[in-house]
Amino acid sequence: MITFRQRIRTAAVAVLTFSALTACGGSSGSGNDAIEYWLWDSAQQPGYQKCADAFEKANPGLRIHISQYGWDAYWSKLTAGFIADTAPDVFTDHLSKFAQYVDLKVLRPLDDLGPTSDIQDGDYQEGLAELWKGQDGKRYGAPKDWDTIAMFYDGAALKAAGVDPAELQSLTWNPQDGGTFEKLVAHLTIDAKGVRGDEPGFDKSNVKTHGLASEGSGGGGWGQTQWSAFTGSAGWQATDKNPWGTRFNLDQPELQDTLSWYFGLVQKGYMASYEEIGGANAIGTDKQIQSGTAAMGLSGSWMISTFSKLTDAGGKKLDIGIAPTPIGPTGKRASMFNGLADSVTTLSKQPENSAKWVKFLSDEECQNIIGQSGVVFPARPAGTELAIAFNKNERKLDVTPFTQQVEEKTTFLFPVTTNAADIAALMAPRFDAVYIGSSPITSLTKLNGQLNDLFKVAQ
């Protein structure tokens, strides 16, 4: 009989390289009496420490120990922890990982734990809580926050180009000529001699400022901060159904025509090449805008705090603005809708206490604490309103381009499927090759067949 440990080990080897596993130690630990809680976002740690303090005050005798790791180290350390029995009691979960963890039976159904058995879908933003239910109908994550995509821009770059920020509210795009969106991107692009992308004599091989930032090919995360807003507004969806799709749509013209246009911006000099942004270790849109190598770019609402703190080389705060994603061929704009949740591991020695902490994280008190920090949009609507108000009053930043996608119902869900690690392993190098230009768009048709074949293998 294959043991629990063997199942995890086999799956982990498929997800991680041996070097990644051996580089990870066990949980830092703080004693068996503390509930171990892991997260990856350093910007959110202060807010959750306040939640931990409030939880401990309300629950004498229970303590929370929070550990924060960077994104890559977080997941490799977590996987190693499942193998070595050093995983935390509770961790921040992501939809791209969730399905595989459910398959591997390393998450406890929250329905089976007293404190979390009464979580109600209707307490959170519409559709958010349902994402964290497995194919068995059980809940494996309690919603903590949600995110959408919008466009950050450098106000000074727009002013220098003679562009009124109001123009960004009604941009349109199409895969034939890029519409008014591409016209703006071209105008914001400047070569080394100061010639703009829409002016005679523009040198696309020697660009100082690209009109649009790039965050890589997007193959590892369904183009969330790269091309998903465009494919979504073209009417494309990744799978036959979501969540738990088993047939993929990478062979459809809505995707391939859109990506042909999107990656074509690189050939025109309007968007940075794969090499310029550092290849697979791409520097983010925030750094590109801060350095002046990009005038604007798509990114997620979880980056609001980071963008609000950007300064120029002299330490002066940048004039950062936010605009909605452009309207596509469907006549609507679009944004991927994603959300994080907190999960309890099967390795927890104190599952009921861990569930009590998870319930507190998803309840009004903690959600309001996080909303008042303005770092993310909490899962509860009241917390979201607090985050909007914080950004407006404290940062003088209008974040409604993110929230209007939810209000106008122009969002689509992050694809949730089983075999997520295998899917990402196949997609990432293929999309990189398309971005680089060493592989044609039509190669995604073969990739589509490979993804579909994953679901033909007997479970």
N- to C-terminal Cα separation, the chain: 16
Q: pTM of the predicted model, to two decimals?
A: 0.90
Residue 104: count of CB within 10 angstroms of its CB: 17
- Return the exposure string of 27-66: e unless at least 16 CB atoms fall within 10 Å of the residue's CB, then b: beeeeeebbbbbbbbebbbebbeebbeebbeeeeebebbb
Report pLDDT digits (tens) over 87-125. 999 999 999 899 889 989 999 999 999 999 999 999 999
Q: How far apart are CA 262 and CA 230, in angstroms?
A: 8
Nearest to 234, CA basis, from 296, 179, 170: 179
- Residues composing the chain: 459
From 26-30, 128-132, 363-367, the region with the lowest mean pLDDT:
26-30
Task: Tell me what percent of the residues of the chain surpass a pLDDT of 90.
Answer: 87
Whether the per-residue pLDDT at 129 is higher than 90: the answer is yes
Whether the per-residue pLDDT at 294 is higher than 70: the answer is yes
Nearest to 418, CA basis, from 231, 255, 241, 219: 241
Q: How far apart are CA 225 and CA 232, in angstroms?
A: 12
Residues 433-446, mean pLDDT to the nearest whole number = 97
Q: How far apart are CA 164 and CA 155, in angstroms?
A: 9
Residues 36-62, mean pLDDT to the nearest whole number = 97
Cβ atoms of residues 178 and 261 within 8 Å: yes
Enumerate the domain spans of the chain. Answer: 4-146+340-396, 149-336+417-453
Cβ atoms of residues 418 and 247 within 8 Å: no
H or E element that contains 425: helix 420-436
Give 192's contacts (C-beta < 8 A, 6+ positions apart).
203, 206, 207, 208
Fold of 149-336+417-453: D-Maltodextrin-Binding Protein; domain 2 (3.40.190)
Report pLDDT digits (tens) over 188-216. 999 999 999 999 999 999 999 999 999 99
Q: How far apart are CA 421 and CA 11, in angstroms?
A: 9
State the Cα angle at 107 between 246 and 223, rounded to 5°: 45
Class of the domain covering 4-146+340-396: alpha beta
Whether the per-residue pLDDT at 164 is higher than 50: the answer is yes
Q: Are strands 34-39 and 63-68 parallel, antiparallel or unpaired?
A: parallel
Whether the per-residue pLDDT at 168 is higher than 70: the answer is yes
Prior bond of 243 cis (ω within 30°)? yes
Q: Which burial class, exposed, middle or buried, applies to 1 when counting CB atoms under 10 A from its CB (0-12, 13-18, 19+)?
A: exposed
Query: What local confidence, expressed as pLDDT, does residue 2 receive?
Result: 41
Q: How far apart are CA 421 and CA 414, in angstroms?
A: 15
Cβ atoms of residues 425 and 106 within 8 Å: no
Name the average pLDDT for the chain.
92
Fold agreement between 4-146+340-396 and 149-336+417-453: yes
